[in-house]
Amino acid sequence: MAKDPERPGLAAEAVRTLARESGATEQQIRDIVLLVGFDRSSILREARLLAKDG
């Protein structure tokens, strides 16, 4: 059986760190990465906005 191609993304530890720093969930961090890419400051900005809005 063919192996599924790996989805590019952040390492699990990076996702956990960003979630901890921003107050967003790990799933929210993954969703943000899909929208804005891998720029750390952009991810944190969007994650903090999400966390603030509850």
**Residue 44 confidence (pLDDT):** 98
CA angle 13, 18, 24 (to 5 degrees): 120
Task: Give the pLDDT means over successive 10-residue stretches in the chain (54 positions).
Answer: 61 97 97 97 97 85
**Beta-carbon neighbour count of residue 51 at 10 Å?**
14
Q: What is the largest CA-CA distance in the chain?
A: 45
Closest residue by Cα to residue 19 from 6, 36, 32, 8? 32
Question: What pLDDT, on the 0 to 100 scale, is given for residue 7?
Answer: 59
In 3-state terms the chain splits into helix, strand, coil percentages (rounded to 5) of: 65, 0, 35
pTM exceeds 0.85: no
Per-residue confidence (pLDDT) for residue 53, from 0 to 100: 87
Per-residue model confidence (pLDDT) at position 1: 52
